[in-house]
Amino acid sequence: MPEWYGDSVGDTLSRMAKTLRVGLAQINTTVGDLDGNVRKALEYVERARVLGVDIVSFPELTVTGYPPEDLLLRAQFVKDNVEALQSMVGQCLGITAVIGFVDRGEHARSLIWGPVGATDVSHIPIYNAAAVIHDGRLAHVYHKERLPNYGVFDEARYFEADRHCEVYTVAGVDVGVNICEDIWYPGDPTEAQGKAGARVIVNINGSPYHAGKRKFREEMLAERARDYGVFVCYTNQVGGQDELVFDGGSMVIAPSGEVVARAGMFEEELLVVDLAVEELGARSQGPGERIQHFVLSNIPFLPNKPPIEARIAPEPEGEGEVYGALVLGTRDYLHKSGFERAVLALSGGIDSSIVAAIAVDAIGAENVHGVSMPSRYSSEGSLKDAKELAENLGIEFRIIPIEPAHEAFEEMLAPAFGGTEPGVAEENLQSRIRANVILALSNKFGWIVLTTGNKSELATGYATLAGDMVGGFAVIKDVPKTLVYRLARWRNSQDARPVIPEAVISKPPSAELRPGQLDADSLPPYEVLDPILEQYVEHDRSVQEIVAMGYDYATVARIAQMVDRNEYKRRQAPPGVKITPKAFGRDRRLPMASRYRAW
């Protein structure tokens, strides 16, 4: 074992009561920005050191950003991540730091921790790992044991699991380190580390957001703390990455199950807390083969420091929580993809109104451009509502009528459509003309197009390919229509006067593609539709199970049919923010060509 690992020791004597100052660095990393991620981590290391923190922890895969997906299949990317970690080790002085990265395994250490050359190592297993850096040297590397392979997670595709776990003495306190899924279920490695003497568990995470997950997460961590008699220091990533949002909410939970410190949601923060660790009696389990013990330090680097009062951040609830996730996810997708400005079609309807509000809160009113594209079927009220919304939000607003193009298309297609009755094809011409206009503006000025379709529409196929589905980012792709209305009312409640006109919220929803058209002409009422979609899409319940919950068979079967037949449309939709337990996209992968019928 290399000398920089520290001294492996056997069982230890009972310890006096100690105070361990822990820092949880809840930072926003960017996938692939190795240098930027390391630079940010070092800034937080220095902030923690100045505050006298004994051990500071960072999110899962901090160096690479999370999730790096198939970048992990590139040997050069893994090598570069190792070099980036190496570059920061010597700068973490006067502190212990736990930092997530990708490791190539114990048997490959001579290659990885020596000069990183051009040798082909693509066949070498890789590990989701936590580097334990102590006072400018790499003391040890922990490898994740439990690899999630469900929902949005594909870790078995990339990583090997390990079965070794360690306990580290930091400032005289025994600390166990593990990664995300390792603590989500009872048992090892957390249990083994607790039995081996760990009084504090540092768990680093990249745990994506969905509504309601925060409470479940806190209850789970409290159960682990009580079961194993440990402080749980849960550090979570914050920020948006493609369709995922990481909400932060890092927390420290006492052995009693009580939350003693909590970081805010949807924002970067260094959460610092003093843990009064009680005296430890004899271990019930020695280190043995399963557990190794490393003594890093028996005293703090900075003794006799003044106490720090623990912060318990308030938590947003309900629509406020979801809205915060949508704002963060939109802001980070645009900025991390290199976009500064956005454009969207303003129809005067509820969906485009809430998307415009989210965009303004995400990137600023000066960077959002609204376009009204009235047709012969657009009502005066819709144009008025769109204009009022734009004025309330303070965004640029322009009107580009599409009637000349609409007439031209009808004339062009008249010979081909001759002898047929007007129908959906003619209606969708308007949507596709609008898409061309909005894309032309995007192409000309470099603005990203924000689409405005919601989850209810996407689920049922109530959207036009190469029409209203066209764009670069689908802000409310995972937001059911009924929740769109609640979000609009919540957003209006946050200002002295409403930003979304009341007429937008109160009028019946309509695509205005023909005279007098309403969504209710094509879909069940959203109050009926959305609960059924939740059961069928998010909970994978069968038609029969949903009917048994009290719903009409014909309605449930019709909705299931619409969902199943429109998988091909959803595959062509832009990415959007995930806010439910199961979103369309990486969360839900069904074949487009399938003859299985659930209805």
Strand pairing report for 200-205 and 231-236: parallel
Which one of 79, 144, 481, 569 is the catalytic residue? Answer: 144
Q: Which amino acid is at 275?
A: L
**Cross-strand pairs, 252:** 233, 261
Which one of 180, 243, 269, 569 is the catalytic residue? Answer: 180
How far, in Å, CA of 499 to CA of 326, rounded? 17
- Note the helical H segments in 209-302: 213-228
Q: Is 180 a catalytic residue?
A: yes
Q: Are 518 and 510 in contact (CB under 8 A)?
A: yes
453 burial level (CB within 10 Å; 0-12, 13-18, 19+): buried
Which one of 40, 60, 166, 512 is the catalytic residue? Answer: 60
Indicate the Cα dihedral angle 457, 462, 467, 470, nearest 10°. 30
Angle between helix 75-89 and 34-50 (nearest 10)? 20
Backbone φ and ψ for 52, nearest 5 degrees, come out as 75, 25
How far, in Å, CA of 144 to CA of 163, rounded? 8
How far, in Å, CA of 483 to CA of 476, rounded? 10
How far, in Å, CA of 366 to CA of 370, rounded? 11
How far, in Å, CA of 526 to CA of 74, rounded? 46
Q: Which helix (H) or strand (E) holds 25?
A: strand 18-26
Q: Are 159 and 127 in contact (CB under 8 A)?
A: yes
Q: Report CA-CA distances (Å) from 267 to 62, 174, 205, 315, 391.
A: 16, 30, 15, 12, 29
Q: Is 403 a catalytic residue?
A: no
Residue that has been written with the tokens 């745990």 in this structure = 207
Q: DSSP for 215-240? A: HHHHHHHHHHHHHHT-EEEEEE-EEE
Return the DSSP state at 318: H
**Edge-to-edge strands of the sheet including 342-345?**
396-399, 368-372, 342-345, 448-451, 473-474
How far, in Å, CA of 95 to CA of 91, rounded? 10
Q: Are 53 and 135 in contact (CB under 8 A)?
A: no
**Cross-strand pairs, 469:** none
Residue among 261, 258, 263, 265 at smallest CA distance from 273: 261
Return the DSSP state at 44: H
Q: Which amino acid is at 533?
A: L
Return the DSSP state at 159: B
Buried b or exposed e, range 59-82, using 16+ CB within 10 angstroms: bbbbbbbbbbeebbeebebbbbbb
3-state secondary structure string across 81-99: HHHHHHHHHCCCCCCEEEE
Paired tokens of 191 = 């249990």
* Alpha-carbon torsion (220, 221, 222, 225), positive or negative: positive
Paired tokens of 46 = 């220095």
Contacts of 499 (CB under 8 A, 6+ apart): 357, 389, 392, 393, 491, 492
Residues annotated as catalytic (active site), given as ranges? 60, 144, 180
